[in-house]
């Protein structure tokens, strides 16, 4: 018998810290509930913690593209695979801030800057700090994803005022070595701990559709939920198969399985923003609607993610209208129900 309080995720709910840990068996049992029961539970928890019609919107910018030393089998930016992507140098601070300003005008509340690095170099740190300060001065939340960070680097980013750091565990510990060999699962957890210790909010999730089993997906979500404090943001990416990469021919994820994973993420991490992340161009509106019902409440907006396509503003505006969704950060006065 599963403890109902635990299914509601109410233990330690106020702080985001949980007194007890989920087991993979418990989580797998929930994942395998009849679909309607799973969605009902996930949506009830979603409603208890969030406005169910509000979706947080972030915008991505690749501040250093391609030529990456890591061998992540899914990535267009790894130098280990002939993906045809042209590598470029780190962007100038002023250009990043100008792009962030455009994103703010487009309605994004959080600006996420990504670099194709194994970890940032000392020579990059001052420019990175200047980007954080500049974007924050526009009144946006800042997020960075720059690879592995030491405790000292985490402190430097915290001092510059960084709000979030994105660092995905990507898959289960068991499957990790099949996808990436140039670093380990525990390296990822170490950076997450460094970021958390520095007082930066954590964005950590993974990818579905890399050939992993359902148990791998459940295990990945359990690892995230069992961190000393659950991540504030949990991006769930659907693999975008990149020609030339190791996973170019990976079979697509069953949309129902994808929705189940979103529901499980919501149940295991009731207070986190669950982001319907990469792969939305291949999702129907109906699939996205189910994901929002199951507990997803965050997306990336804009035509491009880091290097790959994303539904554009027009498509997302139409989707929001169809579903009566609204951006999360609007003032209460703006939050009239959609027509
Ligand atoms: N280099 C940094 C790192 O790996 O930590 C940051 C950038 S990396 C591109 C950010 C995340 O994007 C990866 O951890 C992965 O989860 C996701 N990602 C990358 N390529 C993807 C793809 N083709 N499809 C889906 N998600 C992808
Ligand atoms: C995350 O989980 N997904 C974003 C963000 N964090 C950095 C990146 C998705 C990348 C998709 C592939 C591309 O654009 O190259
Ligand atoms: Fe490099 Fe990040 Fe791509 Fe891995 S996911 S190859 S670390 S840019």
Q: What is residue 17's predicted lDDT score, i.e. its pLDDT? A: 53
Q: Which among 59, 72, 188, 217 is annotated as catalytic?
A: 72
Q: Are 268 and 27 in contact (CB under 8 A)?
A: yes
- Told to judge if 275 belongs to the known catalytic residues of this protein, a careful annotator would answer yes
- SS3 sequence, the chain? CCCHHHHCCCCCCCCCECCCCCCHHHHHHHHCCCHHHHHHHHHHHHHHHCCCCEEEEEEEEEEECCCECCCCCCCCCECCCCCCCCCCCCCCHHHHHHHHHHHHHCCCCEEEEEECCCCCCHHHHHHHHHHHHHHHHCCCEEEEECCCCCHHHHHHHHHHCCCEEECCCECCHHHHHHHCCCCCHHHHHHHHHHHHHCCCEEECCEEECCCCCHHHHHHHHHHHHCCCECCCEEEEEECCCCCCCCCCCCCCCCHHHHHHHHHHHHHHCCCCEEEECCCHHHCCHHHHHHHHHHCCCEEEECCECCCCECCCHHHHHHHHHHHCCEECCCCHHHCCCCC
pTM of the model as a whole: 0.93
Which has the closest alpha carbon to 105: 285, 278, 313? 313
- Told to judge if 291 belongs to the known catalytic residues of this protein, a careful annotator would answer no
Distance between Cα 76 and ligand 1 center (Å)? 9
Q: Which among 41, 68, 188, 260 is annotated as catalytic?
A: 68
* Closest approach atom of ligand 2 to CA 205: 2
Asked whether the predicted pLDDT for residue 239 surpasses 90, the reply is yes
Mean pLDDT over 20-27 rounds to 93
Find the largest Cα–Cα distance for the chain.
Answer: 57
- The pLDDT tens digits of the residues spanning 33-88 come to 999 999 999 999 999 999 999 999 999 999 999 999 999 999 999 999 999 999 99
Distance between Cα 299 and ligand 2 center (Å)? 11
Measured from the CB, is residue 240 less than 6 Å from ligand 1?
A: yes
* Closest approach atom of ligand 3 to CA 114: 8
Q: What is residue 2's predicted lDDT score, i.e. its pLDDT? A: 52
Lowest mean pLDDT: which of 130-139, 201-210, 259-268, 327-336?
327-336
- Told to judge if 112 belongs to the known catalytic residues of this protein, a careful annotator would answer yes
Asked whether the predicted pLDDT for residue 18 surpasses 90, the reply is no
Kindly indicate the confidence band of residue 108, based on its pLDDT and cuts at 50, 70 and 90: confident
């Amino acid at each position: 018998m599963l403890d109902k309080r635990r299914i509601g995720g109410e233990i330690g709910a106020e702080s985001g810290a949980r007194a007890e840990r989920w087991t993979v068996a418990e989580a797998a049992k929930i994942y395998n509930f009849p679909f309607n029961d799973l969605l009902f539970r996930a949506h009830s928890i979603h409603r208890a913690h969030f406005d169910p019609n509000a979706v947080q919107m972030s915008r991505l910018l690749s501040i250093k593209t391609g030529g990456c030393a890591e061998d992540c089998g899914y990535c267009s930016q790894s130098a280990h695979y002939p993906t045809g992507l042209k590598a470029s140098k780190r962007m100038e601070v002023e250009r990043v801030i100008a792009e962030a300003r455009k994103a703010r005008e487009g309605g994004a509340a959080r600006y996420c800057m990504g670099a194709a690095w194994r970890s940032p170099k000392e020579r990059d740190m001052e420019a990175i700090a200047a980007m954080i300060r500049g974007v924050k001065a526009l009144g946006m939340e800042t997020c960075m994803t720059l690879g592995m960070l030491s405790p000292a680097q985490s402190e430097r980013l915290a001092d510059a005022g960084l709000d979030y750091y994105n660092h995905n565990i990507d898959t289960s510990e068991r499957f990790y070595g099949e996808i990436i060999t140039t670093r380990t699962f525990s390296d990822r957890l170490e950076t997450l701990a460094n970021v958390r210790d520095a007082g930066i909010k954590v964005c950590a999730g993974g990818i579905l559709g890399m050939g992993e089993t359902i148990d791998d997906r459940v295990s990945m979500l359990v690892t995230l939920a069992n961190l000393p404090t659950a991540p504030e943001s949990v991006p769930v990416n659907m693999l975008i198969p990149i020609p030339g990469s190791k996973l170019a021919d990976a079979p697509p994820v069953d949309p129902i399985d994808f929705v189940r994973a979103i529901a499980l993420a919501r149940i295991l991490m009731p207070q986190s923003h669950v982001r319907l992340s990469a792969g939305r161009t291949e999702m129907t509106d109906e699939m996205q609607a189910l994901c929002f019902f199951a507990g997803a409440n965050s997306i990336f907006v804009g035509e491009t993610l880091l290097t790959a396509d994303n539904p554009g503003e027009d498509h997302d505006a139409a989707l929001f209208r169809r579903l009566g969704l609204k951006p999360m950060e609007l003032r209460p006065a703006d939050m009239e129900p959609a027509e």
